Amino acid sequence: MALMNYSQASREAIRDAMHADENVWCVGEDLGRGGVFGQYKGLREEFGEQRISDAPISEAAIMGVALGSAMAGSRPVVEMRFSDFALCATDELVNQIAKARYMFGGQCRVPLVSRHPIGIWRSSAAQHSQSLESWYTHIPGLVVACPATPQDNYSMLKAAIACDDPVVYLEHKNIWAMEGEVDRELEYQFGQASTRCRGDDITVVSWSDAANRAESAARRLAEDGISVEVIDLRSLWPWDRTAVIESVRRTGRLLVTHESVQAGGFGAEVVATVAEHAADALQSPVRRLGAPRALISYAPNLEDTVRVTTEMIENSVRDMIAGQTTRANKT
């Protein structure tokens, strides 16, 4: 076990993968200076410019080169700097990388990791703050991952690099400095959720930094005797339907919360799945808590109006519990 922050954990995952397999390499803008958030710091000095490769400012070119390299047998880690910038490489990622294995009848694979830093981060405004994970869950052929802790950012990134399918790897920019214990021996398999808190009164499902806020809310609520089970999905495709359904069947209540826009968000998929497979266990209507369909402002006071906070999650849980109690009393 070692104490690392979220950024260091990802760097160590890459370092270990590169030592273990000479076919692993990284490409993107600013890698030579360690990356925008320091997540590649020291790697170029250790592995050289051929394996930690700086690229010109052309996301489409970066992704296209990585596609060809992966089809030829390497395992590229593609740095997009911000998830918003990755939209410039959408054709390569969605129409080529995601479909290559199918289009070539299984004759080739594209073992590629596309790193997309997501989320609201200290006045970065509308073009640097989006969380677009639900977009990628719509695309057959892509694995979608959202690590929320240093441990997960180590274990999940190693799993992503080893995966034979393309992985869209979404790291939240606001938690690069988050510290935690990291066990290098702990392995991860995509589709496994993490139960961050055990509880009996309500199930809260989340991912990325919103899962950290949900855990904080659960600990506050526990002081008042409200028992909250927090499930961090960790990967959105595949996702752990079994863990969610079994939890809801025990608690009878479901709140899904995420930082991304609520309209069309992945939370709706979770809610629909529970409605299809565990509706008989629900004691109250399910609820979603996400961002409004609004652009993210530069001004901190306006930025805060679209941010899903710990307090919002806590208040939603209290409201759901109180609402059920009121109905029970009326009955």
| CA gyration radius, the chain | 20
Measured CA angle at 170 (ends 96, 60), to 5 deg? 35
Angstrom CA distances, 94 to 135, 152, 168, 224, 330, stand at 10, 25, 11, 47, 52
Catalytic site includes residue 128? yes
Catalytic residue among 128, 138, 172, 258: 128
Tell me if residue 109 falls in helix, strand or coil.
Answer: coil
Helix (H) or strand (E) holding 195: strand 194-197
Angstrom CA distances, 200 to 155, 253, 285, stand at 29, 9, 17
| Alpha helices in the chain, H assignment, sequence order | 6-20, 43-47, 59-71, 90, 100-103, 133-137, 150-162, 208-222, 241-251, 266-277, 300-303, 310-330
Tell me if residue 45 falls in helix, strand or coil.
Answer: helix
Measured CA angle at 305 (ends 80, 312), to 5 deg? 100
| Alpha helices in 72-103, H assignment, sequence order | 90, 100-103
Catalytic residues: 128
